[in-house]
Chain A
């Protein structure tokens, strides 16, 4: 557990200052076609300081974490802040105070003992064996067992000090099969949980039902057809709604990107979606349940609250850090987060979700004459214009309200605030996804989710 060498330095804070000590530990085992190609542990930790003066920041970090190194990192950050203030001369006043916030947030989740690597190795090996024995038609497979723990200590000149521990355990399974004409097709299934790896991943047979479905889908995909390119009515599986909320909308309503010219700038308080659509970036609790990646205090010492983004189709807010909140005249809600000790906090999403509706998934599909049911996405990217794209790994034709043939890999695209206006049905269930990393200068773990949606989108194909 990290010792607190930070609080003692508070007496030396002159301007708005954040001191953060952090250790990220990652264990990973990769089995590629039965070969253990990765068996590694990465531990990266240290201390950083960020100082705000006159409208710009100075930041410094170092790997050593001792009372002396904290002092020298703070001095280096202060020196950088002075350099910027002297040379840029923005002349901004100090950041508004967070008066009234609790002084300290104690550890919410107890820090557990590190687990031996053999737990990941044994699990990956057993899972590989089960897959090989059971799924005869696959031509290859990759299994990744991964455990990531982040521990942070934060001391701020103004706001809430924090001690945080966040463990994430993941298993990825990639299956490959060949089509009749020898072309390889692949599918990925990720399983992610918050906690110790061996709390969730002990017996690979617990994944059997999901892997049976994956194998069935891969068989269907191996006989898949190319999608017919163009604008089509689509039903998005709940797994895609998370990507939609994160990529297509979430990034455009991060206040730094709004200031940089995103389409959401002039859209505030305007109808940007069907009245069925509401969307929130939840801090730590959503719909009465804990979020998969809860944030209680951000890395600027702001107590985290939910950020309402779209309400009944109207864009009602952005996500902020303390500086952008001042610019827009609103209260910061705890979105400034850093991934490693050497990263400065940026405006990041936390648990970004489209709210569930009242319809049933089968009814969404039944109402489509000629379209697609899109089930799995590989990746996604959004644009400042709101134009977005998702890679589609698995989808099916819908003909006269019934599922048809699987389709080959393709891409869908749309303009978020136009596409969301075409949403005419939303399912009453929802799925969370926490397995990936968001990339915005730094990596970041984020939660995202939502229900199934029916809408119109542009689909690639032939």
Chain B
């Protein structure tokens, strides 16, 4: 891969790029599919990818193709430099400086027999142990690949890796009655353990069976919600997109744009990116813009410590760069056992999935509590139906009443249960 990437880089320079970078990847994915509790497909996909970036007088062009032969590269180089020449100059555009070049190899080899056998075992376990579960769609795959990143400052990284992944979408079914669908999966380094035991998967399947019969909240009240690790989108991804990332800071719409060093959340909250956590399976060794990844604290003990800015975002806003993997988020565990956290809720919701409108820059969030349960007097009682929750995420972070001692990983994130107060709950 390094030779292919170097060839493309040389061609970019010859074609007139002042600065340039190239990421080349060659990979393969084999995937089993199940629909309606039946195997349906075995899919093999060869995944080539070439990502070129050229800067000409501070003007940027990007061309992406899925071919790695020289003739296709030559065409892509022409296109990339032409794009750059037609763009507007932007002094914030740059490529990463040469600091330390590295080669990574975490490849451990394919076990397709193991993958097939674990997939069959999964289906059998669901049939035997969770007879009310219908698997709407399931895929299990093994992916392997080699990637090289090079740029005209002399940066050169290579990585060879592989991993297994599965994802299952399921419902609880009893006669004509059914639960809401839920989905869950995990990235795994090997096939040593049953898939059903990964992350929160078994628990979510069991809860789908318990959610066939639901109860409607008939009034509106303000209470607590316990956000489970399965429901990371509603809190943690919203923070990354609306308050910490490139777009909201370049636009100036982030309500935290001037809050660096200030308290933005309850002191129980430490929120960070930890790509070096040994529980992370997907091996993000270097960033898309050519930096080795580092662990970064975004919020530590409630204080905003860093944004999640790329090199471009940092140059554009004048705020610090955070070379990390924004997907590998971790919330530090707290000191409250989950059982005790539940006991502390008089009336609220155990939130397993959230189906809501895309949160805006204001931080207002509203949507339906899916696959979720009512908590009454410290006990998880009935599964909920047609229940909406509304809150402002920035206000809620200041109303964190507890973070669990326990945490769960699915190979990408490491998250505990988090209890927020002041949430509006409304039924029909």
**B333, chain A: closest CB distance, angstroms:** 30
Please measure, in the bound complex, the distance between the C-alpha atom of A33 and the C-alpha atom of B255, giving whole angstroms. 16
B367 and A460 form a contact (CB under 8 A): yes
Knowing A383-B181, A411-B368, say if A389 contacts B355 (CB, 8 Å): yes
Chain A residues with Cβ under 8 A from B220's Cβ? 229-230
| 9-residue interface stretch from B80-88, B318-326, B343-351 | B80-88
Query: Are B86 and A230 in touch, CB under 8 angstroms?
Result: no
B339 contacts the other chain (CB 8 A): no
Closest to A257 in B: B136
Residues on the B chain within 8 Å of A60, using CB: 43-45
Q: How far is the CA of A80 from the CA of B173 in the complex (A)?
A: 32
Interface 9-mer from A180-188, A209-217, A281-289: A180-188
Count: A-B pairs, CB below 8 Å: 247
Specify the chain A residue showing the minimal Cβ separation from B120.
A87
Give the residue among B41, B65, B68 with the most A Cβ atoms within 10 A. Answer: B41
Which size class do A's interface residues fall under? Answer: 35 or more
Q: Which of A39, A84, A87, A231 contacts B87 (CB 8 A)?
A: A39
B178 contacts A by Cβ under 8 Å: yes
Rounded to whole angstroms, the CA-CA distance of A410 and B392 in the bound complex is 11
List residues of chain A with CB within 8 A of the CB of B388: 229, 411, 413, 458-460
Binds B, one of A259-267, A271-279, A291-299, A420-428: A259-267
Interface residues of A in 1-55 (CB under 8 A from B): 32-33, 35-46
Residues in chain A near residue B213, CB distance under 8 A: none
The answer on a CB contact under 8 Å between B62 and A39 is: yes
| Complex interface bits, B43-68 against A, C-beta within 8 A gives 1, otherwise 0 | 11111100000000000111111111
- CB-nearest residue of chain B to A26: B64
Residue with the greatest number of chain B CB neighbours at <10 A, chosen from A139, A229, A266: A229
Q: Are A184 and B255 within 8 A (Cβ)?
A: yes
Residues A32 and B253 in contact, CB atoms below 8 Å apart: no
Q: Which of A373-416 contact B (CB under 8 A)?
A: 378-379, 381, 383-385, 387, 389-393, 408-411, 413-415
**B173 contacts A46, C-beta separation under 8 Å:** no
With A56-B39, A384-B180: A461-B366 Cβ-Cβ less than 8 Å: yes
Q: With contacts A42-B64, A411-B356 known, is A385 near B178, CB below 8 A? A: yes
Query: Cα distance A415–B368 when bound, in Å?
Result: 12
A409 touches B90 (CB 8 A): no
Does B247 count as interface, using CB distance less than 8 angstroms? yes
Pick out which of these stretches binds chain A: B145-153, B262-270, B287-295, B357-365: B357-365
Contact at B43–A80, with CB atoms within 8 Å? yes
Which residue of the partner chain B has the closest CB to A44?
A: B66
Q: How far is the CA of A65 from the CA of B168 in the complex (A)?
A: 33
A184-B362, A229-B390 known; A39-B370 Cβ under 8 A: no
Is A335 at the interface (CB under 8 A from chain B)? Answer: no
Q: Mark B363-404, 1 if CB is under 8 A from A, else 0.
A: 010111010000000000000011011100000000000000
The smallest beta-carbon distance between A17 and chain B, in angstroms, is: 14
Closest to A24 in B: B66
Q: A40-B61, A460-B390 are in contact. Are A35 and B316 (CB under 8 A)?
A: yes
Interface residue B331 (Cβ < 8 Å from any Cβ of A)? no
Kindly state whether residue B426 has any CB partner on chain A within 8 Å: yes
Binds B, one of A97-105, A116-124, A165-173, A300-308: A116-124
- Please, which residue of chain A has its CB at the minimum distance from the CB of B133? A261
Q: Does B282 contact A (CB under 8 A)?
A: no
Using Cβ atoms and an 8 Å threshold, which residues of chain B touch A229? 220, 388, 390, 424, 426
List of B residues within 8 angstroms of A33 by Cβ:
250-252
> Which residue of the partner chain, among A40, A391, A415, contacts B64 with CB atoms under 8 Å?
A40
Docked complex Cα distance between A259 and B34 (Å): 12
Q: B304 in the interface, Cβ–Cβ < 8 Å?
A: no
Assembled-state Cα–Cα distance A231/B220 (Å): 11
B79 beta carbon closer than 8 Å to chain A: yes
Contact check: which of A45, A121, A344, A379 meets B86 at CB < 8 Å?
Answer: A121
Per the bound structure, the CA–CA distance linking A100 and B202 in Å amounts to 49
B176: which A residues are within 8 A, CB to CB?
A: 265-266
Q: Which residues of B contact A313 (CB under 8 A)?
A: none
A322–chain B nearest beta-carbon distance, Å: 13
Q: Would you call A140 and B252 a contact (CB within 8 A)?
A: yes
Assembly CA distance A262 to B35 (angstroms): 13
Q: What are the residues of chain A within 8 A of B408 when measuring CB–CB?
A: none
With A and B bound together, what is the CA distance between A116 and B247 in angstroms?
27
Complex Cα–Cα for A76 and B171 (A): 33
Residues of B within 8 A of A231 (CB): 428
Q: Does A342 contact B (CB under 8 A)?
A: yes
**Smallest Cβ-Cβ distance to B88: which chain A residue:** A36
B356 CB contact (under 8 Å) in A77, A385, A389: A389
Contacts of B60 in A (CB 8 A): 36, 39
A-B residue pairs in contact (CB < 8 Å), sample of 18:
A32-B251, A41-B79, A59-B44, A63-B68, A117-B86, A142-B247, A142-B251, A176-B251, A183-B362, A184-B360, A229-B220, A231-B428, A344-B41, A384-B178, A389-B367, A458-B428, A459-B388, A460-B388
- Beyond A142-B247, A458-B427, 10 extra complex contacts between A and B, CB < 8 Å: A39-B86, A41-B83, A42-B65, A43-B65, A44-B66, A84-B42, A185-B361, A387-B180, A414-B386, A461-B426
